[in-house]
Amino acid sequence: MLILLMGWSCLASGSQAGLIQDIEFAKPDGVSLTLDAFVPEGPGPFPTVILVHGGGFDKGDKTTYIKPLFEPLSQAGFAWFTINYRLAGQRPWPACLEDVETAIRWVKAHAAEYKVDVKRIALVGESAGGHLVSYAGARSQGDTSVAAVVPFYAPHDLEIRARARQEVKEGAAKMFGVKTKPVGADFVKLGKASPVNAVKAGMPPYLLIHGDQDPTVPHDQSIAFQKKMQALGNVCDLITVHGGGHGMGPWSKLKPDYAKEMVAWLRKVME
């Protein structure tokens, strides 16, 4: 296994600090899944975030789309892990969800090495990755349990979006085994794969972050998800980026403190 190291140091305890890249955490069906890890200086254990990228279920990797969160989390003293997962064309749903859950188990199993506080692990994902962390949070239990979940502009209801548009983008269609021009059975599949339909009482706290001018995933999806969560007694907060579209890149001008607000919320719920 090849591990590339950038700016890391070994501490007396044998643990590492800094950025450690391309660590293989699983190899399902012969597909090597890797992650990058950032470990703060100091004794730890540290609050920890597992980051899951977007890309329409058929593109992107651990260093794309989700990258704007790396520096804010590092500066806040969080350990973080950004992961790859199997994309559409490699293995259909729910393989990508299982990969996120495998990453949670791996991080917990290596907690001492990477100075992870296993009681303070959060999932954070954007777009397709937001969908995955939301679903993983709904299934969170035992060795896949987490303390908090933060989905950015997540498609929580795949069925309602497909019905509204009468189409499914190619990557999602391939991932969920439906037609790009969906028919009755396709809507059933999309409904079963939607996090909003997996919501139940007793889920970890959620923070939804969404632009109200998102042309790809309507802001209403986060509002509907929040209402269902709260109706079941779950904590579910929402940060709206006014004027924000799909993707956090331009948000630095619209709402430059969104990452700091996320960090503050994580600190509060993971005390």
pLDDT digits (tens, 9 = 90+) for 143-190: 999 999 999 999 999 999 999 999 999 999 999 999 999 999 999 999
Residue 215 pLDDT greater than 70, yes or no: yes
Per-residue burial over 217-233, b = 16 or more CB atoms within 10 Å of its CB, e = otherwise: bbbebbeebbebbeeee
Same domain? For 30 and 94 the reply is: yes
Please provide the average confidence, as pLDDT, over all residues in the chain.
94
Same domain? For 66 and 169 the reply is: no
The answer to whether residue 261 sits within a structural domain is: yes
Residue 13 pLDDT greater than 90, yes or no: no
Are 68 and 82 within 8 A, CB to CB?
no
Same domain? For 17 and 40 the reply is: yes
Same domain? For 132 and 212 the reply is: yes
How confident is the model at residue 15, as a pLDDT? 60
Are 158 and 178 within 8 A, CB to CB?
no
Angle between helices 128-138 and 95-109 (to 10 degrees): 70
The answer to whether residue 142 sits within a structural domain is: yes
How far is residue 3's CA from residue 21's CA, in Å, rounded to a whole number? 6
Same domain? For 126 and 168 the reply is: no
Task: Name the residue with tokens 């992107």.
Answer: 60
Same domain? For 46 and 171 the reply is: no
Same domain? For 71 and 34 the reply is: yes
Same domain? For 90 and 165 the reply is: no
Mark out the alpha helices in 35-153 (DSSP H runs). Answer: 70-75, 95-109, 111-114, 128-138
The answer to whether residue 198 sits within a structural domain is: no
Same domain? For 146 and 182 the reply is: no
Same domain? For 47 and 173 the reply is: no
Residues 204-229 have a mean pLDDT of 98
How confident is the model at residue 11, as a pLDDT? 38
Output the CA torsion sign for 172, 175, 178, 179. Answer: positive
Same domain? For 48 and 86 the reply is: yes
The answer to whether residue 199 sits within a structural domain is: no
Total count of domains within the chain? 2
Task: Name the residue with tokens 């809507």.
Answer: 187
What CATH number is attached to the domain comprising 227?
A: 3.40.50.1820
Peptide bond into 94 cis (omega under 30): yes
Same domain? For 97 and 174 the reply is: no
The domain boundary residue, chosen from 193, 215, 248? 193
Beta-bridge mates of residue 5? 20
Q: Are strands 116-126 and 148-152 parallel, antiparallel or unpaired?
A: parallel
Q: Which domain holds residue 70?
A: 4-157+205-269
